[in-house]
Each structure stands twice: as structure tokens, then as C-alpha cells.
Amino acid sequence: MTARGVLGLRFNQEHGCFTSATETGFRVYNVEPLSEKMRAGLDAVGSVRHIEMLHRTNLLAVIAGGGLPKFAENTVLVWDDSQKEAEKKCVLEFTFAQPVMSVRMRRDRLIVVLRNQVHVFKFPNDSKRLLSFDTRDNPKGLCEVSSNMENQILVFPGYKCGSLQIVDLATTEPESSTAPVTINAHQSELACIAINQQGSLVATASKKGTLIRVFDTSTRRQLVELRRGADPATLYCMNFSHDSSYLCVSSDKGTVHIFAVKDTQLNKRSTFKKMGFLGQYVESQWGLASFTVAAECACICAFGPVTPAGSSVIAICVDGTFHKYVFTPDGNCNREAFDVYLELGDDMDF
């Protein structure tokens, strides 16, 4: 994920803001209306690979990377932008024996993902390590955690190829070695996962990128199987809508697909004939709507506010472009806004 110096993009938990990690520092943007809210340059943080924002607070978790890093790649810095003096903005530092792949935040927990481990810390006060889990090799740092305080669900790859581990942080004892519950989601390696804000649903996709499966996190039962396409693709991002009615998915085909999760009758359908001696027919659910961005340009996607015209989906691309589309349950999808977020704020005094 890199273009125009952008090394990483990430929405906050409510999808109302997004962060851009770049070769020249990082920036934080508001989605509606689109505006730049914060930035830190090379002198403050160096080049940055990943930024995780805690809701709409001033706290961000920073992972260095790129060509001019100021900090080690095995360190997570917690940055508090409310501090007036630059040298006091780094309020916490976590260092590990291996490079950090990604980081996730809740109001009460910080989760650090290494290639073969996931560590859970108390946060932000008394930031001690509570839990550690071993995983299979996880170079993408796949991991998601619900923001819901009642349903504290953490998901990450399991030991077996294509499997997903589910941990309830509320019931797992600190320092325990309790084995998480595992779902065998796919036959090939996981490439993308998403959890809804309520912590009740998790979506998975493999490196084939053709099928997306949605599971209930409490029963571990598969609820629906969705088809992105027939050709393999690299998936960049998946996100549920705020009410869990829809799921959006972006891929290297330059297309963002929107699926209905609650009322699956809204999805388009086709029938495939499965090979084999039975030759049975299997119905496949395709997206109810889609739109395109620059082909093979990595992007993240999430649901924006509901408008009088319909529900909105936001796509943020590494080429610096911002796309907003509005779709209706009958599958109509129209562009409502386009901008270049990297050009915002350049004339502002931060």
C-alpha cells in the first residue's frame, strides 16, 4: 500500500476520521466534511508506516517505517496531540523483540500484533501486559477488536491455515493460556478480516479474494457467504456499516463492492454448477452495488453517514483521492463527492 508517499491508511473506530501514514510523517482527517485535523512531520516522527487513532481523541498509536524512520520498527509510540510541547507528545512507548506489524486500540486496551504473536495491554493507565497469544505467521498484522464495551471481542488468525481465533477479552483471565475458540473459515490463508462495532459479527476473506464469509462471534456459525467475483483478487479492506446491515469490500480490481448482510435478499444472485459426480447447483450471492476507483490503487473503505438519497460509502486511496458514493437498497450507486485529501491543509498553519 504505497503511492504519493502514503504508506498506510486507517479509519478510526466510528469511521468518522481516517489517518494517513506517509514518508513525511502522518496526517489525521475528518470525513464529513472532509478536512485535515492534525499533522506531524519528519522532524517530529520521521516516516511512518501505520497510525491507529482512538475514536476522536488526541491519542494515536504510531509505528515507524518507510525511508526515514525516526524510531525502531519494533516500537509502538502512543502520541498525545493535546500536549503543547513536541517532546512531551509521546506519552507511552512499547518495545518488542520483533518488528510490530500493526496495532489496535480500545478505550481500555491496546493490542500489538507481531508476526507470530498478539499482545493485549491495559490502556491508557497502568499500561501493563494482560494477555499474549501465539499465532501462525501473520505478516499483514491481521487483527480486529470490537469497540463495544459490553462485547469485547478480539479476532486474529489461528494456527491452522485459513482459521480465525476469537477471544472474549471480558472473560479471558490475565496471564492465562486459555486457548481461544477457532473458526475454520477458509482453506487458504486469511487476507482480510473485519468485526462489526457491536462485536457480534466477523467477516473473513482468504488470499484468493473471491468469497467473503460472515460468522456469528457467539455461536461461531456461518451466517452468509458472499461472492466478490470469480477471478482471484487481493482484498485491501472490509468494514461493516454502523448498524451491521451492510459490508463493503475493496480490492486490487479497483472496485468497491457493497453487500447486504442482514437482508440478504437484496444481494444479486447467480447459480453456479459445481463440478463432481452430482453436478449440483449452488446459488451465489453477489454485491447489491459497486463503484470503481483507480485500478490496482490500494484503498480502504467504510460507511459514511446516511443521507436523504441513501447510505454512503467512503473510499480513501493511496494516490491521495477521496471518494464518496451513495447507494440505495435496490442497487443504485452514484458518486456524491470526490477530492484529493493530500492537498488539504497545505496552506494551514499547524
Query: Which residue bears the cell 438519497?
Result: 309
39 and 89 in contact (C-beta within 8 Å)? no
- Maximum distance among all Cα pairs of the chain, rounded to whole angstroms: 71
* pLDDT tens sequence across 31-51: 999 999 999 999 999 999 999
Residues in the chain: 350
Would you give the end-to-end CA distance of the chain in angstroms? 27
Cα separation, 180 vs 155, in Å, equals 9
49 and 65 in contact (C-beta within 8 Å)? yes
Cα separation, 246 vs 170, in Å, equals 27
77 and 43 in contact (C-beta within 8 Å)? no
* pLDDT tens sequence across 299-315: 999 999 888 888 999 99
Cα separation, 260 vs 198, in Å, equals 17
Considering only CA atoms, which of 66, 82, 63, 83 is closest in space to residue 74? 63
Query: Which residue bears the cell 498525545?
Result: 80
3-state secondary structure at position 42: helix
Q: Strand 281-286 vs strand 222-227: parallel, antiparallel, or unpaired?
A: parallel
What is the predicted pLDDT for the residue at 303? 97
Average pLDDT over residues 129-154: 94
Cα separation, 247 vs 260, in Å, equals 6
Cα separation, 295 vs 314, in Å, equals 16
Cα separation, 225 vs 221, in Å, equals 12
Cα separation, 151 vs 271, in Å, equals 37
Burial-class residue 315 by CB neighbours within 10 Å (0-12, 13-18, 19+). buried
333 and 16 in contact (C-beta within 8 Å)? no
Least confident interval from 179-193, 265-279, 295-309: 265-279
* Alpha-helix residue ranges (DSSP H) falling in the chain: 42-45
DSSP 307: B
What is the predicted pLDDT for the residue at 118? 96
| Residue-wise DSSP of 190-256 | EEEEEE-TTSSEEEEEETT-SEEEEEETTT--EEEEEE--SS---EEEEEE-TTSSEEEEEETTSEE
Q: Percent of the chain having pLDDT more than 70?
A: 91
Average pLDDT over residues 84-91: 76
What is the predicted pLDDT for the residue at 127? 87
Query: Which pTM was predicted?
Result: 0.91
Q: Does the pLDDT at position 282 exceed 60?
A: no
Considering only CA atoms, which of 150, 135, 240 is closest in space to residue 189? 135
204 and 225 in contact (C-beta within 8 Å)? no
Amino acid identity, residue 80?
A: D
Considering only CA atoms, which of 263, 272, 251, 258 is closest in space to residue 206? 251
